Amino acid sequence: MAEQAKKYVDPNPYAGYGAAMKSTPGDPMAVEWQKAHEAEIAAATTPKALAEHLWEAKDADALLAKLKGAYDTDPLVMTEIGAVTQYVMEFSIGRTVDCQKRCGTPGAAPCRRRIWLTALLKAFRATKDEYLQTFVLDQMRWCACKCHAPKIRALADAAASDHVKEYITWTASEADGSAF
Amino acid sequence: MLTRRDMLKTAAGAGLFTIVPGCVVNSATAPSNQLTRALIGFGCIAHSANHLPFKGSRLIGLCDPYEARVQHGLDCAAKSGWGKIKAYKNFMELLADKDVDIVHICTPPHWHGCMSVMAANAGKDIWCEKPMTRTVGEGKRVMEVVKAKKRMFRLNTWFRFQGNFYGFGTTVEPIRQIVENGLLGKGPIKCTFGAGQGFSWKFGWSGRVNAKPQPIPKGFDWDMWLGPAPWKPYTDHRAGTSFRGYWDYDSGGLGDMAQHYLDPLQYLLCKDETSPVKVAYKGPRQHPEAVGRFDRLTLTYADGMTVDLDGDETLKEEPLLRGANGLCVYKKAPGGKTLRIKDANGFWSEEKVLKTLAELPKPAPQQTDFIDSCKNRKTFALNESNGFRSCTMFNLGIAAERLGRGFNFDPDTLHAVNDPAADRFLYQSMRGPWKKEMWG
């Protein structure tokens, strides 16, 4: 068996526990990044701070415009985006009859979820980066409403790959409740 | 001649208790009379002593989405005395093989639920690596299908029935004796799990926040490896041992280790039939993809019992169990032989601990031979039901980490209470076509 171990080289360099847990400059582990930026993360993700990204479309657009391709985005921006998605999930179920009746009704208060989803749809079309498209679809998967499903399906014409097209179909099924 | 395997298949299919005639028992060591096993996944875990040479069963095949690992597995199996075993193209081919009795699921956790359901539907008995499943919803589905198909299921953790319980210098049996016989008094028990009690939450199993996409290695089916998890461009840190650091596959040290720690706790607290009603979270906001750390997770049961998972190590001096009457249970002292018990007068002597335990009734015996379970259809000690409950303990914690807050849970309906956002984390759908295999 020891002889076997010497000859066999796992194609994945992180197959060993030690290598897997080592941080490298410019490529930190989340746990170290959290520790180094604890105060910034806390300040950026208070309910007040998150709500400020959702007052108007331009606020949401500005946050998502900070996404850079190929995993180059500031992790704080990624965390803020994930937190806004969760903030939106907390407000209105989105799939209730009452919410669907209110949505788009003249005079109704702007729906935070609608502002965020509109911005996410726009951010998807603004990039050709496969990873960024999957990240944006991730956010939609958590918080999209039934009313967003057709616009999500329409993203297929801008998909960076067949895998992203498949992801679009899945996301739309989460939105319209047919995912299970 | 009718072999034991033939008889078992018929009996298992009819859900009957098997009585094996003497003539078959006498030839039970013949390969044709051994139950057969096949491994799904030949990464790190499959190399262990439990998996290749496991006595009482015959290894007949394996599969892995890395071609190099398949070849390595074949070589290891030959060296371990199994001769030439089959290399299946994929796990679906493995499940379709009627010669396979037991499926051993050695994949990362995001596959455990779907493969367990598919294996049960294929008529296999199942040995699944921990954690049982990635979410409450998957665990519930596994439980339903395993029961409906009358399959035998076990998880690969064992501290509830064998082995010293980490630093306690003893099995969990004496601790259960203490709890079951009311030595901790009436009223809620407070449990603490962290470095002070001998348990590491392994925050080093974290994901990278800026890992770059890379070309997929030759001979690696990344799409199959991802399976039901969301598609992401390949990066080597998402595969291999480091999958542990990503929410999509495992959820860090909590997701990976908590079943080892909390399943024996659930057993010794006599909580196998229920789940916590509340989870509270204290800690930083999490990155949406890469797992970080938590400071404190607190699970509360309906009777007031609490379990604190001590991430920031501020509860290092606490005992494992603190009873309502002040009696406490600690891990053994360095050089000591058994766990320590303390009351208002101080620590008990070792003699008093041993004498007290000897006089207490022992817990009910457990079914600890999985091959015997499969042959005679006896539910294993750690099965789909109690395994689901202990898995739920930390799946609630993971949902609270990702939400950044706690929530209430109903242990009967198995849903978050009036909390659709929390429920979204407890019940997650799957990438197609695995969604249909899982949910029907």
Model pLDDT for residues A53-104, shown as the tens digit of each residue: 998 889 999 999 999 976 789 999 999 999 999 998 886 544 444 555 555 5
pLDDT digits (tens, 9 = 90+) for B268-288: 999 999 999 999 999 999 999
Residues B73 and B192 in one domain: no
Highest mean pLDDT, choosing among B61-70, B118-127, B208-217: B118-127
> Locate tokens 């010497």: which residue?
A6
Range of the domain at B91: 4-155
pLDDT band at residue A17, thresholds of 50, 70 and 90? low
Q: Are residues B65 and B200 in the same domain?
A: no
Q: What percent of chain B has pLDDT over 70?
A: 91
**CA B228 – CA B225 distance, rounded (Å):** 9
Mean pLDDT on A25-43: 91
- In this complex, is the C-beta atom of A170 within 8 Å of any C-beta atom belonging to chain B? yes
B213 lies in some domain: no
Say if B60 falls within a structural domain. yes
Residues of A in contact with B421 (CB under 8 A): 86, 89-90
Interface test with A, best of B289, B293, B427 (most A CBs within 10 A): B289
The confidence score (pLDDT) of residue B239 equals: 87
| Chain B residues in contact with A179 (beta carbon < 8 A) | 429, 435
Q: pLDDT class for B372, splitting at 50, 70, 90?
A: very high
116-155 of A, contacting B, C-beta below 8 A:
130-131, 134-135, 137-139, 141-142
d(CA A55, CA A71): 28
pLDDT at position A1 is 41
Say if residue B185 is in the same domain as residue B45. no
Which residues of chain A have a CB within 8 Å of the CB of B205?
20-21
Amino acid B24: pLDDT: 35
Domain of B344, CATH number, reads 3.30.360.10
Q: Is the pLDDT of residue A105 over 60?
A: no
- Looking at the fold, whether B70 and B173 belong to one and the same domain comes out as no
Same domain? For B196 and B98 the reply is no
- The number of domains in chain B is 2
- The per-residue pLDDT for range B74-86, each reduced to its tens digit, is 998 888 888 899 9
Instruction: Let me know if residue B13 belongs to a domain.
Output: yes
pLDDT value for B328: 97
Mean pLDDT of B332-346: 91
- CB-based contacts of A67, cutoff 8 Å, min separation 6: A73, A77, A81, A123, A127, A132, A135, A136
Q: Are residues B137 and B197 in the same domain?
A: no
Q: Choose among B66, B210, B240: nearest Cβ to A20.
A: B240
Axis crossing angle, helix A112-125 with helix A130-143, rounded to the nearest 10: 160
Q: Sorting pLDDT into bands at 50, 70 and 90, what band is B212?
A: confident
Q: A180, B435: Cβ pair inside 8 Å?
A: yes
Give the one of B44, B231, B402 whose C-beta lies nearest to A163's C-beta.
B231
Amino acid making up residue B242:
S
The predicted pLDDT at position B92 comes to: 97
CA nearest A88: which of A50, A31, A42?
A50
Tens digit of each residue's pLDDT (9 = 90 or more) over A119-145? 999 999 999 999 999 999 999 999 998
Instruction: Specify whether B311 is located in the same domain as B189.
Output: yes
**Pair B278, B315 in one domain:** yes
Domain assignment present for residue B220? The answer is no
Across the interface, whether the CB atoms of A72 and B220 are under 8 A apart is answered: no
**Both B22 and B65 in a single domain?**
yes
Residue pair B430/B417 in contact (Cβ under 8 Å)? The answer is no
Q: Does residue B432 belong to the interface with chain A, where contact is any CB pair within 8 Å?
A: yes
B31/B171 same-domain check:
no
Tell me whether residue B237 is in a domain.
no
Query: Which CATH number goes with the domain that contains B37?
Result: 3.40.50.720
Q: Is A71 on the interface with B (CB under 8 A)?
A: yes
User: Is B233 an interface residue toward A (CB < 8 Å)?
Assistant: yes
Same structural domain, B32 and B170: no
The shortest C-alpha distance from A71 to chain B (Å) reads: 5
Residue B414 and residue B301 share a domain: yes
Residue B222 included in any domain? no
Tell me, letter by letter, the H, E, C secondary structure of chain B.
CCCHHHHHHHHHHHCCCCCCCHHHHHCCCCHHHCEEEEEECCCCHHHCCCCCCCCCEEEEEEECCEHHHHHHHHHHHHHHHHCCCEECCCHHHHHHCCCCCEEEECCCHHHHHHHHHHHHHCCCEEEECCCCCCCHHHHHHHHHHHHHCCCCEEECCCCCCCCCCHHHCCCCHHHHHHHHCCCCCCCCCEEEEEHHHCCCCCCCCCCECCCCCCCCCCCECHHHHHCCCCCCCCCHHHCHHHHHHECCCCCHHHHHHHHHHHHHHHHHCCCCCCCCCEEEEECCCCCCCECCCCCEEEEECCCCCEEEEECCCCCCCCCCEECCCCCEEECCCCCCCCCEEEECCEECCHHHHHHHHHHCCCCCCCCCCHHHHHHHCCCCCCCHHHHHHHHHHHHHHHHHHHHCCCEEEECCCCEECCCHHHHHHHCCCCCCCHHHHHHC
Out of B208, B209, B230, name the one closest to residue A138 (CB).
B230
Q: Is residue B221 in a domain?
A: no
pLDDT in tens, B146-173: 999 999 999 999 999 999 999 898 999 9
CA distance B209 to chain A (A): 6
Q: What global pTM score does this model have?
A: 0.91
In a domain, B238, yes or no: no
Give the mean pLDDT of B333-354.
92
